[in-house]
Amino acid sequence: MPYQITIQPSGHIVHADDDETILAAALREGYMLPYGCRNGACGTCKGKLVSGEIDYGEYQSGALSDADIDAGKALFCVARPLSDISIECREVGAAKDIQIKTLPCRVHKLERLGHDVMALHLKLPANERLQFLAGQYIDILLKDGKRRSFSLANAPHNDDYLQLHVRHIPGGEFSEHIFTRMKEKDILRFEGPLGSFFLREDSDKPIIFMAGGTGFAPVKAMLEHAFHHHIDREMVLYWGARQLRDLYMPQLPGQWQQEYPNFTFIPVLSEPALEDAWPGRTGLVADAILQDFPDLSGYQVYACGAPGMVDAAHKTFLQHGLPEDEFFADAFLYQSTPGK
């Protein structure tokens, strides 16, 4: 039978399914509790059991000592309720509440998504998980001290692997390495999560997503997070690219449009090739948005792509009524951080 979990001091209430951990129940119902490894090894999710009974689960003594248990502490990533319970812990409300880590990872799979886009699937060590907000990014740490920033393309609930979308930049040292020399099982190091580009869930305003090229990656994470948590706000994705082949996985948002009545996908090509025989929207993606939404005063906009696109859209959208604090953006520079 499901048990009720009351989270203090917020007073939030969640219900755990049979044999579901406290952390899993909270995450499933949209409440972010701190966590690291999700297997009882690191202690990041440690909190206090205020009332009720739990199964403490399997954990390492270094993460939860007998003294911790005597003090009423438990590891919420492995503990399961045996009755209605009340717990006390800090909830993650924003990026500042999440611990930034430096971790190793292994290249699990290299997946070609398009003619010039590769998906990297990265596996973390067995005793680690990366807590992040949908839309954030990580910095790959190179041996020469340089960094390359990449948005996380997977949603937080689907964190068995970290997924990055990397565009091949001719002459770009790291992207050339990925496309020509990188192999499965290669080891990388990264720092993250980073950035303030994440979905604000404390609003009920409809959302317009604007993506250019691989700017689709963090938008993909945000949308998958929204669908997973049954967020019913109206959402529209405008994905801009030069030619049809540059829309490297259009079947996915096309599928979402079929499955979710509150989501619409509008691809926009700036220079479609003759062989594309493109019947859809053309021109600049920001112009397409303003053609459909000349008054943006009641919307939130999330934009990710090249700085020129993002900056121009920001200025124009404000002129069309978008409140300054409802524009969220992540602009990437190929010159300094290829592939992000």
pLDDT single digits (tens) 286-311: 999 999 999 999 999 999 998 889 98
CATH superfamily of 3-92: Beta-grasp domain (3.10.20.30)
CA pair distance 156, 133, nearest whole angstrom: 6
Give mean pLDDT, residues 85-106: 88
- What number does CATH give the domain 207-331? 3.40.50.80
Token pair of 10, please?
């917020």
Return the CATH architecture of domain 96-194: Beta Barrel (2.40)
pLDDT single digits (tens) 190-244: 999 988 889 998 899 999 999 999 999 999 999 999 999 999 999 999 999 999 9
CB 300 within 8 A of CB 292: no
Token pair of 69, please?
């248990």
pTM metric for this prediction: 0.81
CB 63 within 8 A of CB 31: no
Question: Given this model, what pLDDT does residue 79 score?
Answer: 97
Q: Tell which wins on pLDDT, 202 or 334.
A: 202
Tell how strand 207-212 and strand 187-194 pair up.
Answer: unpaired
Q: Is the pLDDT confidence value at 335 over 50?
A: no
**What's the gap between Cα 151 and its chain centre?**
8
pLDDT single digits (tens) 121-179: 999 998 888 999 999 999 999 988 889 999 999 999 999 999 999 999 988 889 999 99
Q: Is the pLDDT confidence value at 277 over 70?
A: yes
Tell how strand 3-8 and strand 85-88 pair up.
Answer: parallel
CA pair distance 122, 183, nearest whole angstrom: 12
Angle (CA) 319-325-331 rounded to 5° is 80
Where along the chain do its domains lie?
3-92, 96-194, 207-331
Question: Given this model, what pLDDT does residue 332 score?
Answer: 61
H/E/C letters for each residue in the chain? CCEEEEEECCCEEEEECCCCCHHHHHHHCCCCCCCCCCCCCCCCCEEEEEECCEECCCCCCCCCCHHHHHCCEEECCCCEECCCEEEECCCCCCHHHCCCEEEEEEEEEEEEEECCEEEEEEECCCCCCCCCCCCCEEEEECCCCCEEEEEECCCCCCCCCEEEEEECCCCCHHHHHHHHCCCCCCEEEEEEEECCCCCCCCCCCCEEEEEEHHHHHHHHHHHHHHHHCCCCCCEEEEEEECCHHHCCCCHHHHHHHHHCCCEEEEEEECCCCHHHCCCCEECCHHHHHHHHCCCCCCCEEEEEECHHHHHHHHHHHHHCCCCHHHEEEEECCCCCCCCC
